[in-house]
Amino acid sequence: MAPGAVITLADAVADAGVALPGVSGEAGTVEAFAARWQERTGHGSEIRLRQRMYVLGELVSPAGVAGDSTRATAADLDVVARWAEAFHEEAQPEAPGQDWHDWARLRIDAGQLHLWRVDGMAVAMAGVSAPASGVARVGPVYTPPERRRCGYGSGVTATATAAAIADGADDVVLYTDLANPTSNAIYQAIGYRPDHDAEVRSFV
Protein backbone atom coordinates (compact mmCIF):
# COMPACT_ATOMS: atom_id res chain seq x y z
CA MET A 1 0.00 0.00 0.00
CA ALA A 2 1.30 3.44 -0.90
CA PRO A 3 2.48 5.49 2.13
CA GLY A 4 -0.17 8.16 1.60
CA ALA A 5 -2.92 5.56 1.45
CA VAL A 6 -1.73 4.04 4.75
CA ILE A 7 -2.07 7.40 6.50
CA THR A 8 -5.47 8.01 4.92
CA LEU A 9 -6.69 4.61 6.06
CA ALA A 10 -5.43 5.02 9.62
CA ASP A 11 -7.02 8.47 9.85
CA ALA A 12 -10.34 7.22 8.49
CA VAL A 13 -10.51 4.36 11.00
CA ALA A 14 -9.51 6.62 13.87
CA ASP A 15 -12.07 9.26 12.83
CA ALA A 16 -14.75 6.55 12.80
CA GLY A 17 -13.95 5.70 16.42
CA VAL A 18 -13.23 2.06 15.66
CA ALA A 19 -11.24 0.20 18.34
CA LEU A 20 -8.77 -2.00 16.49
CA PRO A 21 -7.14 -4.99 18.20
CA GLY A 22 -4.23 -4.95 15.78
CA VAL A 23 -3.05 -4.89 12.18
CA SER A 24 -1.38 -7.32 9.81
CA GLY A 25 0.12 -7.15 6.35
CA GLU A 26 3.31 -6.26 4.50
CA ALA A 27 5.89 -5.23 7.08
CA GLY A 28 6.49 -1.66 5.89
CA THR A 29 2.78 -0.98 5.55
CA VAL A 30 2.06 -2.35 9.01
CA GLU A 31 4.84 -0.28 10.55
CA ALA A 32 3.53 2.91 8.93
CA PHE A 33 -0.06 2.20 9.97
CA ALA A 34 0.98 1.43 13.55
CA ALA A 35 3.00 4.65 13.78
CA ARG A 36 0.07 6.75 12.55
CA TRP A 37 -2.33 4.86 14.83
CA GLN A 38 -0.15 5.72 17.82
CA GLU A 39 -0.12 9.39 16.81
CA ARG A 40 -3.91 9.44 16.54
CA THR A 41 -4.91 7.23 19.48
CA GLY A 42 -1.92 6.98 21.79
CA HIS A 43 -1.92 3.18 21.45
CA GLY A 44 1.45 1.60 20.73
CA SER A 45 1.89 -1.83 19.19
CA GLU A 46 3.69 -5.10 19.81
CA ILE A 47 4.88 -7.45 17.08
CA ARG A 48 3.22 -10.84 17.56
CA LEU A 49 4.45 -12.61 14.45
CA ARG A 50 6.96 -12.02 11.69
CA GLN A 51 6.29 -13.84 8.44
CA ARG A 52 7.74 -14.15 4.96
CA MET A 53 5.70 -14.69 1.83
CA TYR A 54 7.20 -16.99 -0.76
CA VAL A 55 6.23 -17.32 -4.42
CA LEU A 56 6.87 -20.49 -6.38
CA GLY A 57 9.65 -20.35 -8.94
CA GLU A 58 10.13 -23.80 -10.45
CA LEU A 59 8.71 -26.70 -8.46
CA VAL A 60 11.28 -29.30 -7.38
CA SER A 61 9.66 -32.42 -5.94
CA PRO A 62 11.80 -33.90 -3.14
CA ALA A 63 13.40 -37.25 -3.87
CA GLY A 64 13.75 -40.22 -1.57
CA VAL A 65 10.80 -39.48 0.72
CA ALA A 66 9.02 -42.63 1.85
CA GLY A 67 5.31 -42.78 1.05
CA ASP A 68 3.06 -40.85 -1.27
CA SER A 69 0.27 -38.30 -1.26
CA THR A 70 -3.50 -38.46 -1.75
CA ARG A 71 -6.34 -36.01 -1.36
CA ALA A 72 -8.04 -36.22 2.01
CA THR A 73 -11.48 -37.86 2.07
CA ALA A 74 -14.37 -37.99 4.53
CA ALA A 75 -12.66 -40.95 6.20
CA ASP A 76 -9.84 -38.58 7.20
CA LEU A 77 -12.13 -36.02 8.86
CA ASP A 78 -11.08 -36.69 12.45
CA VAL A 79 -7.33 -36.65 11.83
CA VAL A 80 -7.57 -33.53 9.66
CA ALA A 81 -9.63 -31.69 12.30
CA ARG A 82 -7.17 -32.73 15.02
CA TRP A 83 -4.17 -31.58 13.00
CA ALA A 84 -5.85 -28.29 12.04
CA GLU A 85 -6.40 -27.52 15.71
CA ALA A 86 -2.82 -28.54 16.55
CA PHE A 87 -1.49 -26.26 13.79
CA HIS A 88 -3.57 -23.39 15.14
CA GLU A 89 -2.28 -23.89 18.68
CA GLU A 90 1.33 -24.13 17.52
CA ALA A 91 1.46 -21.46 14.83
CA GLN A 92 -1.36 -19.00 15.58
CA PRO A 93 -2.46 -19.35 19.22
CA GLU A 94 -3.56 -15.71 19.40
CA ALA A 95 -5.96 -16.11 16.48
CA PRO A 96 -9.63 -17.00 17.11
CA GLY A 97 -10.39 -20.73 17.09
CA GLN A 98 -13.28 -22.37 15.28
CA ASP A 99 -15.12 -25.66 14.85
CA TRP A 100 -12.27 -27.62 13.31
CA HIS A 101 -14.51 -30.47 12.14
CA ASP A 102 -16.56 -27.98 10.11
CA TRP A 103 -13.35 -26.46 8.75
CA ALA A 104 -12.04 -29.90 7.80
CA ARG A 105 -15.32 -30.95 6.19
CA LEU A 106 -15.50 -27.86 4.02
CA ARG A 107 -11.93 -28.17 2.78
CA ILE A 108 -12.16 -31.91 2.24
CA ASP A 109 -15.36 -31.47 0.23
CA ALA A 110 -13.58 -28.80 -1.85
CA GLY A 111 -10.65 -31.14 -2.52
CA GLN A 112 -8.23 -28.68 -0.93
CA LEU A 113 -6.42 -30.96 1.53
CA HIS A 114 -3.63 -33.40 0.76
CA LEU A 115 -2.24 -36.05 3.08
CA TRP A 116 1.14 -37.75 2.88
CA ARG A 117 0.81 -41.43 3.77
CA VAL A 118 3.34 -44.07 4.74
CA ASP A 119 2.05 -47.66 4.66
CA GLY A 120 -1.44 -46.22 4.44
CA MET A 121 -1.08 -44.04 7.56
CA ALA A 122 -1.38 -40.26 7.30
CA VAL A 123 1.81 -38.55 8.51
CA ALA A 124 1.54 -34.97 7.17
CA MET A 125 -1.01 -32.55 5.71
CA ALA A 126 -1.01 -29.60 3.33
CA GLY A 127 -3.92 -27.45 2.24
CA VAL A 128 -4.17 -25.30 -0.86
CA SER A 129 -6.81 -22.75 -1.85
CA ALA A 130 -8.57 -22.58 -5.18
CA PRO A 131 -6.89 -20.00 -7.45
CA ALA A 132 -8.24 -16.45 -7.04
CA SER A 133 -7.16 -13.96 -9.70
CA GLY A 134 -4.64 -16.59 -10.73
CA VAL A 135 -3.08 -16.98 -7.27
CA ALA A 136 -3.37 -20.07 -5.03
CA ARG A 137 -2.11 -20.18 -1.45
CA VAL A 138 -0.66 -23.27 0.20
CA GLY A 139 -1.51 -23.76 3.87
CA PRO A 140 -1.81 -24.95 6.46
CA VAL A 141 1.12 -27.37 6.34
CA TYR A 142 1.36 -29.61 9.38
CA THR A 143 3.38 -32.64 10.42
CA PRO A 144 2.93 -34.09 13.93
CA PRO A 145 6.09 -33.60 16.03
CA GLU A 146 6.88 -37.31 16.13
CA ARG A 147 6.83 -37.50 12.30
CA ARG A 148 9.05 -34.52 11.57
CA ARG A 149 12.51 -34.50 9.93
CA CYS A 150 11.54 -37.28 7.52
CA GLY A 151 10.69 -35.12 4.49
CA TYR A 152 6.93 -35.70 4.72
CA GLY A 153 6.13 -31.98 4.97
CA SER A 154 8.22 -31.26 1.87
CA GLY A 155 6.55 -34.08 -0.02
CA VAL A 156 2.98 -33.09 0.76
CA THR A 157 3.69 -29.38 0.14
CA ALA A 158 5.09 -30.22 -3.30
CA THR A 159 1.98 -32.29 -4.05
CA ALA A 160 -0.38 -29.50 -2.97
CA THR A 161 1.64 -27.05 -5.07
CA ALA A 162 1.43 -29.30 -8.13
CA ALA A 163 -2.34 -29.57 -7.61
CA ALA A 164 -2.64 -25.77 -7.60
CA ILE A 165 -0.74 -25.55 -10.87
CA ALA A 166 -2.96 -28.26 -12.37
CA ASP A 167 -6.03 -26.29 -11.23
CA GLY A 168 -4.84 -23.31 -13.26
CA ALA A 169 -2.93 -21.16 -10.79
CA ASP A 170 -0.51 -18.73 -12.40
CA ASP A 171 1.28 -18.18 -9.09
CA VAL A 172 1.42 -20.24 -5.91
CA VAL A 173 2.32 -18.59 -2.61
CA LEU A 174 2.77 -19.53 1.01
CA TYR A 175 3.65 -17.82 4.27
CA THR A 176 6.21 -18.94 6.84
CA ASP A 177 7.00 -17.94 10.40
CA LEU A 178 10.43 -16.28 10.31
CA ALA A 179 11.12 -17.80 13.73
CA ASN A 180 11.02 -21.28 12.14
CA PRO A 181 14.20 -21.76 10.09
CA THR A 182 13.27 -25.33 9.15
CA SER A 183 10.12 -24.42 7.24
CA ASN A 184 11.85 -21.50 5.52
CA ALA A 185 14.59 -23.85 4.34
CA ILE A 186 12.40 -26.71 3.11
CA TYR A 187 10.12 -24.48 1.07
CA GLN A 188 13.08 -22.90 -0.69
CA ALA A 189 14.42 -26.37 -1.40
CA ILE A 190 11.27 -27.25 -3.38
CA GLY A 191 11.35 -24.07 -5.44
CA TYR A 192 9.77 -21.23 -3.43
CA ARG A 193 11.49 -17.84 -3.48
CA PRO A 194 11.13 -14.97 -0.95
CA ASP A 195 8.79 -12.19 -2.04
CA HIS A 196 8.22 -9.93 0.99
CA ASP A 197 8.04 -9.89 4.78
CA ALA A 198 4.86 -9.41 6.77
CA GLU A 199 3.97 -8.68 10.38
CA VAL A 200 1.11 -9.20 12.78
CA ARG A 201 0.92 -6.49 15.46
CA SER A 202 -1.37 -6.06 18.45
CA PHE A 203 -2.26 -2.59 19.71
CA VAL A 204 -1.63 -1.96 23.40
DSSP letter for each residue of 58-122: S--PPSS-SSEEEE--GGGHHHHHHHHHHHHHHH-TTS----HHHHHHHHHHTT-EEEEEETTEE
- Whole-structure pTM over 0.85, yes or no? yes
Confidence of residue 203 (pLDDT cuts 50, 70, 90): very high
Rounded Cα distance, 67 and 76, in Å: 17
Q: What is the pLDDT of residue 97?
A: 83
- Please give the Cα distance from 78 to 65 (Å, whole number): 25
**pLDDT of amino acid 93:** 82
Structure confidence by residue, pLDDT tens digits, 40-85: 999 999 999 999 999 999 999 999 999 999 999 999 999 999 999 9
Average pLDDT (182-198) is 96
In three-state secondary structure terms, 163 is helix
Domain ranges of the chain: 3-43, 55-196
- 55-196 folds as Aminopeptidase (3.40.630)
CB 1 within 8 A of CB 24: no
**Which letter, b or e, does each residue of 16-26 get, where b requires 16 or more Cβ atoms within 10 Å of its Cβ?**
eeeeeebbebb
Mean pLDDT of 118-127: 97
What would the mean pLDDT of 119-136 be, rounded to a whole number?
97
Distance CA 194, CA 176 (A): 10
What pLDDT score was predicted for residue 1?
86
Cα 172 to Cα 26, 64, 74, 155, 203: the distances in Å are: 18, 24, 26, 16, 31
